[in-house]
A and B are shown apart, each in its own frame.
Chain A
Amino acid sequence: MTQNAMTSKQRVLKLFAGEAVDRVPCFSGMGNVTTEGLKNLGHKFAAIHLDAKMMAEAAATSYKLLGIECGVVPFDLCVEAEAMGCEINVYAHSEDLLYPTIKKKLIHNEAEMEITIPTDIIRRGRVPLMVEAIGLLKNQLGEDAAVGSYVLGPFTLAGQVMELNDLLKLSFKKPDKIAKLLDQCADVIIQVAREYERAGVDYLTVREMGATSDVLSPRIFKSLILPYLKKIFAEIKVPSVLHICGKTNDIVPFMVESGATAISVDQKNDVAETRAKLGPKALIFGNYDPYNVLVAGTPELVRTTMHKCLEDGVSAVWPGCDIWPTVPPENVKAMLDEIANYRRS
């Protein structure tokens, strides 16, 4: 079989379906806008978060110009929280690469935890803009590359709508109160995910980085967070990925138990161990360092890192987080080349 026996889209979809692929795909479920792409389009970074057309165009360049095998929108982590009523900051004044953040939270202290979720959540904030962007991105990429999007996990979303400090302490002191909020967050996430599915995404990633074992014990992950992840994945119809960064080796069995089609881990995960633990069939995506390797590393470092990911047994080569925009095209080339020419030793 030749290298180009499959399109990138076929490769990705077949992988999710558990079918044989000609080689390991190299894509992502997280943001991968590049300054190379923006330069080409003449778009400003601060503008692409608020305009569906610019967002879709910027996302498409990562495949069209660089060859990363997907198109993913959005680029920031504020869509759901904004729809719930938080205010965001897009740093419109700045020429630097600053991602939108939450400027004003919904819950400022424990007393404010009783919240009502707006019934028209899918018409609020940028959810409609996202639906439009997904449609435009599909038009741009056609049958060549798969289109993905992401939602936050319930705990990470809770950390956007309330003070992280309170969320973490109350997870310990008053888990019932937090459980109620996580349930509400899960409902929001499910509604937003359904909208993205209607818009035609090929796959969805749930980003639950707030629940990494760098922050929370595996015990709390299992008792407090896993039930709501299960609730979400039970409702997602397209292929799904659960991404958690940082330390994850102790929780990978729970990540699989969540019901996600695939799991994604970052460079802190020992993937060889994870592969041994989960068996040959599990879809494990990962796990290169998107900044220190892909942006700041030499092409040689990129090659050895990709080689190690493949030797360790990843099912798809994924970055550990969003790809930082200033990625040098020659490093992406080295990455794709190493993966295309890899033969299992």
Chain B
Amino acid sequence: MATAEKQAELLEKLKNAVIQYDEDTAKEASNEVLAVGMNANDAIFNGLVSGMVEVGKMFEAQEYFVPELLMCADALYAGLDILKPHVQQMDLGVRGSVVIGTVEGDVHDIGKNIVKMMFDVAGFQVYDLGRDVPLDKFLEEQIRTDSDLVCLSAMMTTTMTGMKKVIDDLRKKNPNIKIMIGGAPVSQDVADKYGADGYAKDATNALKDAINMIGSLKKMKDEAEAKKAK
């Protein structure tokens, strides 16, 4: 097992690799994590995800824009692909599975992919329907996978209105389903009117919401570990 010093060094290296969108270093550091026998969960949450949290702040401060965000996400995935097979199954008390997609008529999927990444990191089972998804497909996939959460994305005003139909159909079949909507034209007002549980108004907010979600997962994880230690 590596020394505490070495572990801290590797976490820092993972974090910086994400911030500096350096895929090679992210891979190298992830392989080192495995070589020294460090915990993969720890490396993901306190290395890669800490880096992405920082990136979210830089995005909000307009130091980074979408191209940088996408490159940071690539670096995160480069590390995640190596570390994920070594993640020990955690019992967090939540077993999340989510259906996600961009609604019919809309071919924009960048915001959706950023949100998806966060679900991937958090260990959710993600059923990604892609973009330009026929509206009936969301309900079909939710029933097929018995998912707890459905996330709908629309980048244009012109496609946002399709989300209402999906939400109505989902609620009719399954009143308890959680529905998140997001995309540039979406507002709290629209979310309320359409009957969604949550909304992310743009990429920044989607990221923030997803990070908050992971933040609470992290907290649950810490609490679970503290309980175990007792």
Contact = CB atoms under 8 A, between A and B. Distances in A.
B201 to A, nearest CB: 11
Interface in B151-208: 156-162, 184-185, 187, 189-190, 193, 202-203
B162 A96 contact: yes
A215 interface: yes
Contacts of B105: 91, 96, 98-99, 101
Contact of B66 (A89, A102, A168, A324): A168
Interface string A73-115: 0000000000000000101001011110110000000000000
Contacts of B193: 296
Given A99-B105, A169-B70, A322-B158, 14 more contacts: A89-B132, A96-B104, A97-B158, A99-B159, A102-B107, A165-B109, A168-B110, A169-B71, A214-B66, A216-B65, A291-B185, A292-B189, A296-B190, A321-B157
B189 A168 contact: no
Interface of A: 89, 91, 94, 96-99, 101-102, 164-165, 168-169, 171-173, 213-217, 220, 246, 290-292, 296, 321-322, 324, 326
Interface residues of B, number: 32
Interface in B60-81: 62, 65-68, 70-71, 74
Interface of B: 62, 65-68, 70-71, 74, 104-110, 113, 132, 156-162, 184-185, 187, 189-190, 193, 202-203
A181 to B, nearest CB: 15
B157 A168 contact: no
A287 to B, nearest CB: 15
Nearest to A99: B158
B67 A168 contact: yes
- Nearest 7 CB-CB pairings of A with B: A98-B105, A291-B157, A172-B67, A168-B67, A215-B66, A217-B65, A101-B107
17 contacts: A91-B105, A98-B104, A98-B105, A98-B159, A101-B132, A165-B110, A168-B70, A168-B110, A216-B66, A216-B67, A246-B184, A291-B157, A291-B160, A292-B185, A292-B187, A296-B189, A326-B161
Nearest to B105: A98
A101 B70 contact: no
A172 B68 contact: yes
